[in-house]
């Protein structure tokens, strides 16, 4: 009984804090890949010349072994890792994290979100590219003949056609 009162009094802020962090992750991880990959997929779909090279670059996270990804991120995020070294070399050493990016409570959550989004981008890119390539060219031409510019075509025609892919 006394334990329950103390647990409620001292545990509630921790539960709220954990719930807020969970909410941040639940919003950021699905939304960031959409915001990042749809415009990139549109550009990649229109860049015929370098399409194979760009596709290979975007699928590196998906085809890379999990243990290799672990070691790469460990190297990048540790106290003497690539991010801190890069910040120091461009004169932003004051932003470097002496305990590493996952060791600081203020940077651990955003860093974890970045790593998770990085892993989700290839799948979203593949799905959007597939959706974009399945759109009938006559629909795009009809929108352009009706006077729609590039932005209007992609916002009013392409985006609604790939919305089921976004839902997936």
CB-based burial label for 33 (10 Å; 0-12, 13-18, 19+): buried
The pLDDT value recorded for residue 84 is 92
What is the average per-residue pLDDT within 7-29?
Answer: 80
Tell whether the model's pLDDT for residue 18 goes beyond 80.
yes
Tell whether the model's pLDDT for residue 72 goes beyond 90.
no
The pLDDT value recorded for residue 144 is 87
Q: What is the mean pLDDT of the chain?
A: 84
Res. 62 pLDDT band, cuts 50 70 90: low
CA distances from 16 to 3, 112, 142 (A): 19, 19, 52
pTM exceeds 0.85, yes or no: no
5 compared with 21, residue with greater pLDDT: 21
What is the average per-residue pLDDT within 28-52?
Answer: 84
What is the average per-residue pLDDT within 95-115?
Answer: 91
| C-alpha closest to that of 94 among 82, 84, 109 | 84
What is the average per-residue pLDDT within 101-111?
Answer: 91
* Cα–Cα distance for residue pair 77/104, rounded to 1 Å: 11
The pLDDT value recorded for residue 45 is 82
């Amino acid at each position: 009984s006394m334990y329950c009162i103390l647990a409620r009094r001292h545990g509630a802020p921790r539960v709220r804090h954990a719930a807020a962090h969970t909410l941040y992750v639940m919003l950021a991880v699905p939304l960031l890949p959409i915001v990042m990959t749809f415009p990139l997929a549109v550009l990649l779909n229109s860049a015929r010349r370098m399409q194979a090279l760009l596709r290979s670059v975007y699928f590196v996270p998906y085809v890379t072994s999990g243990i290799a990804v672990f070691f790469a991120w460990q190297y990048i995020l540790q106290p003497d890792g690539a991010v801190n070294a890069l910040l120091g070399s461009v004169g932003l050493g004051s932003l470097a994290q002496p305990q590493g990016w996952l060791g600081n409570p203020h940077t651990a959550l955003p860093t974890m979100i970045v790593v998770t989004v990085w892993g989700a981008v290839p799948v979203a890119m593949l799905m959007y590219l597939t959706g974009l390539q399945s759109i009938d060219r006559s629909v795009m031409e009809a929108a352009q003949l009706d006077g729609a510019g590039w932005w209007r075509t992609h916002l009013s025609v392409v985006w609604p056609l790939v919305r089921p892919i976004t839902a997936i």
